[in-house]
């Protein structure tokens, strides 16, 4: 009852449109949830997100859940999970990604999840790694482990915002490392990030993972720009 009273006095707002949420709604109002633009890509290397990385690195497929556009509802969600200290929202979005992956029969051999890491200094400043919490939500649905500390970011590079494709690549080239690559041998790994734009960060992650013997990499993101 106390929670209901607090929500009446200080109602939570929808992260998509900022309107107050009804009691049965969580993070997103039903209207916004129904309007989120789903990508619905096939799990191939020919879908539009996969083509961003085609010829640049080796991977199985890239599957974003939503389309991202400036000023849109998905941008509001991404902003909240990156800068709003919203781990529960991020977990919820991860569960939605997980549910979308279940429908792809070719992904039933996934062994583990690796979230794209933040540098420890940036993670401390932000409060958490949004890719890790997306991965945790996915892991709950797929019932596979998440390997939080397997991949590390060894360089605290600058923000990718407003950089060109070449600048983004130069900004993330050779900044990731694996702690125990032999443990990943022969595994099908799900690499998780929040948004794919030019694909430079994910390309750099794949470049490191592809040094592992007999590894298979599938990429999942919340959105594609």
The count of domains in the chain is 2
Task: Quote the domain boundaries for residue 18.
Answer: 1-35
Residues 31 and 41 in one domain: no
pLDDT of residue 157: 62
Task: Count the Cβ atoms, other than its own, within 10 Å of residue 83.
Answer: 11
Residues 46 and 25 in one domain: no
pLDDT of residue 1: 43
Residues 4 and 114 in one domain: no
Residues 112 and 14 in one domain: no
Residues 10 and 100 in one domain: no
Distance CA 28, CA 31 (A): 8
CB 199 within 8 Å of CB 56: yes
pLDDT of residue 167: 55
Residues 143 and 176 in one domain: yes
pLDDT of residue 50: 97
Residues 149 and 214 in one domain: yes
Return the ∠ at Cα 153 (arms to 54 and 202), rounded to 5°. Answer: 15
pLDDT of residue 25: 92
Residues 23 and 72 in one domain: no
Residues 49 and 140 in one domain: yes
Residues forming a β-bridge with 193: 221
Residues 22 and 61 in one domain: no
Helices (H) and strands (E) in the chain, counts: 9, 6
Residues 87 and 129 in one domain: yes
Q: What is the pTM of this model?
A: 0.88
Residues 30 and 97 in one domain: no
- CA-based nearest residue to 176, from 156, 146, 198, 199: 156
The CATH code of the domain that includes 88 is: 3.40.50.2020
pLDDT along the chain (225 residues), means of 10: 42 90 92 95 95 93 96 95 93 97 96 94 89 98 96 72 53 79 97 94 93 97 96
pLDDT of residue 61: 97
């Amino acid at each position: 009852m106390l929670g209901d009273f607090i929500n009446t006095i200080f109602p939570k707002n929808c992260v998509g449109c900022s309107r107050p949420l009804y009691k049965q709604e969580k993070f997103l109002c039903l209207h916004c949830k129904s309007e989120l633009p789903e990508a619905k890509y096939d799990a191939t290397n020919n879908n539009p997100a996969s083509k961003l990385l085609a010829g640049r690195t080796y991977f199985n497929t890239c599957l974003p859940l939503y389309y991202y556009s400036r000023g849109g509802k998905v941008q509001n969600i991404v902003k909240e999970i990156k800068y709003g200290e919203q781990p529960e929202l991020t977990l919820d979005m991860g569960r939605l990604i997980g549910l979308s992956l279940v429908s792809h029969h070719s992904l039933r051999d996934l062994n583990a999840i690796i979230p794209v890491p933040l540098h420890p200094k940036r993670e401390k400043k932000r409060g958490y790694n949004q890719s890790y919490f997306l991965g945790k939500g996915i892991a709950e649905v797929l019932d596979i482990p998440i390997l939080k500390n397997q991949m590390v970011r060894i360089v605290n590079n600058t923000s990718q915002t407003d950089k060109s494709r070449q600048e983004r690549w130069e900004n993330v080239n050779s900044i990731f490392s694996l702690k125990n690559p032999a443990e990943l041998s022969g595994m099908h790994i799900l690499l998780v990030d929040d948004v794919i734009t030019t694909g430079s960060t994910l390309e750099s992650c794949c470049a490191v993972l592809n040094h592992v013997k007999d590894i298979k990499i599938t990429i999942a993101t919340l959105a594609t720009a």
